[in-house]
Structure 1
């Protein structure tokens, strides 16, 4: 069962608001992206057996087309898992895409071919302004996807506007409108429908949570949710599931191909000569500002690659050839590819010299503290599939541990996965090409 809880933006309204009241509307700019990072503490119980797990969901949402009352939204969902209430790396689990229609009042429709998001039309706001302590109820839906059946359950959340309050979570904080809510959930398979093994015929539970929604900006900032479910299966098995969810939202401008290439040029500069710019700044940070303004020349930018289309000099190319690192753009962002010479043959332990390469990359990644980092291991097609998968995963974990343990990067933003020979960059038809496919990649996710 997948759980991903998403709050979205809608169109900007202009209705006058009575004094002392607040209008909750979702504001949308077509060049912007809303990114949600969720963390779930999960507890399962079946009889005397229990499982504890921590999930991480990253959701990226972009408008494809908007009308006066709705937007067609394109979304990407990445899910990650680590077992046990402990620190350690997240394993990248699944990827999903979804197109759905989002209406101005917060209601949205998801076509049957998409399973995400599975909490739908939530939260929804009344069409009229509200005062502190006002209460409203609007319909929503939970969608549970099991291996052989989808169960949709209608729910009626009750919302209460509490006023303006501060929130904080780790290094992030804000101060905006606070909305609390509760709702029960109950489902029983209709009489006469066939029972399906491993699909519950009864679900009941309860949800309570808080959403901090910035009414002036028209975007959510933070949420915290507690969910409790009981699933009863045809064979008599009873499963309990409890979720404690925290989610932080980031609103930013879309990163286009030119932006990515400009960031790549800056990164190449840093790899060769070190960071000569602001250690707390980055070209990506500039994308959240007014991109129509011309940048003033200053000492920090002297000698650096600019966004004018300037290409690396031959001297730069020759220096890059000496590094065991290559850098390229991808659909997701910027990819650092580490040559397999950083490991001994059939070994997953980083060589001492490899730490120099990882250290250079770590210093660059620290300029993007809120961005997702994915570490992936890859092999050629020689050898057994399961062995290669384990080797590729162990090598990815070695690089991840170096980033976290040696370079103090936040492990909550980093995940790993081993792909064996599933994603070659060149055909495995020669020793030279197989060598290129034996690699570890670190992706700085920009979209």
Structure 2
């Protein structure tokens, strides 16, 4: 169960009374920003803990069009995870895309085929101004992806009543924002058939949130949440997802791909890097380590590759604000499951090596393995297989 929030660990907060505020969402042409969300979650089945994880969600939001009522947005969402509190680089898990409309009060129009945003119509604001201590309420929605484990082939959505309380101005790390408390309780009979037995019949839960709102920019800047969500299934079992989340909003600028590529190629030549290429990909610019050498059938880097990665780390430090995705690839040999496992292990090894070198912070890097699913060369030839045994380090568009 993935939480998308706007959250940050809070320090000392001072609240004082101010005149009423008129809250409105604002957007401007060409606006782009990122949301970095961290989630600490436990999953229980019939009250028995079956999984715990740290999740890192990266959401890129862009304004596509404006009108008098609000704006159209596009959203790209990436989730990576560390299961059972493993340490090190995050493993890329899944991604989503969406387009939606939001008016100035916060009400959203999201086509039903989209799985994100997870929380919709939260927060929304009244037409009138709001005094400190004043409350209001409005319906909200949550949307979840239950394809894995529950076999629902469409977004699972439900509504809930949401309560708001405006606390007033709040000083957070020396900056003044508007502090809004958000609370809701969930009780939602789904009406789904009792067959198959994994169909949720009832959803219960709660969410308690603190939202720091920048009324000048017309958007949230910090958010934190404690949540619990229980699905009562048709066979009587209960699946519970509970945890806490924190996130922050980061203003972002587009990557100048042409300039980035020139810079990487120039530095690679100066550093004497061999068997390293640069290519444009959908998500950014990839540094391609062709024919990367590991110990046989393992994820242990050869000494020559470690030296090569030290040079690549220096190049990556030229783009300190960009996130990194490390992707492992194999030639077409062995079983599909074996290729996937090996590519994941090798990508993890490269990512961890770069992390240990300080090329990125932990929340700026993730890895994935694709096995032989994305070849660059012909697997029927030795040269093609050489090209396909590679690791790509992608400087992301963010």
The TM-score, its normalising length taken from structure 2, stands at 0.88
Contact 2:3–2:245 (8 Å) recurs in 1: no
Residue 239 of structure 2 corresponds to 239
Contact 1:142–1:152 (8 Å) recurs in 2: yes
Show the 5 A alignment for 1:234-313.
234-255=234-255, 259-273=256-270
C-alpha distance in structure 2 between counterparts of 1:151 and 1:378, whole Å: 34
Show the 5 A alignment for 1:99-248.
99-146=99-146, 147-148=151-152, 150-167=155-172, 175-190=176-191, 194-248=194-248
C-alpha distance in structure 2 between counterparts of 1:91 and 1:358, whole Å: 19
C-alpha distance in structure 2 between counterparts of 1:135 and 1:370, whole Å: 39
SS in structure 1 of the partner of residue 44 of structure 2: strand
Residue 28 of structure 1 corresponds to 27
Q: Unaligned stretches of 5+ in structure 2? A: 8-17
Structure 1 residue 344: Cα displacement: 4.1
Residue 432 of structure 1 corresponds to 383
C-alpha distance in structure 2 between counterparts of 1:402 and 1:189, whole Å: 47
The TM-score, its normalising length taken from structure 1, stands at 0.79
- Once the two structures are superposed, residues 383-408 of structure 1 have per-residue CA deviations (whole angstroms, 9 ceiling, x without a partner) of 22122112111111111111122336
Contact 2:6–2:248 (8 Å) recurs in 1: no
- Once the two structures are superposed, residues 117-140 of structure 1 have per-residue CA deviations (whole angstroms, 9 ceiling, x without a partner) of 121111112223323222221221
Q: 1:441 to 1:420 in 2, by over 3 A?
A: same
C-alpha distance in structure 2 between counterparts of 1:267 and 1:150, whole Å: 41
Structure 1 residue 111: Cα displacement: 0.9
- CA RMSD between the two structures: 2.4
Structure 1 residue 80: Cα displacement: 1.2
Aligned length: 382
SS in structure 1 of the partner of residue 314 of structure 2: helix
Q: Is 1:325 the counterpart of 2:276 in the alignment?
A: yes
Q: Unaligned stretches of 5+ in structure 1? A: 8-18, 275-318
- Once the two structures are superposed, residues 329-366 of structure 1 have per-residue CA deviations (whole angstroms, 9 ceiling, x without a partner) of 22211211112243244332111122222122223333
Residue 36 of structure 2 corresponds to 37
Q: 1:341 to 1:52 in 2, by over 3 A?
A: closer
Contact 1:324–1:357 (8 Å) recurs in 2: no
C-alpha distance in structure 2 between counterparts of 1:341 and 1:252, whole Å: 33
Bigger strand share: 2
Q: 1:174 to 1:379 in 2, by over 3 A?
A: farther
Contact 1:90–1:415 (8 Å) recurs in 2: yes
Q: 1:90 to 1:174 in 2, by over 3 A?
A: farther
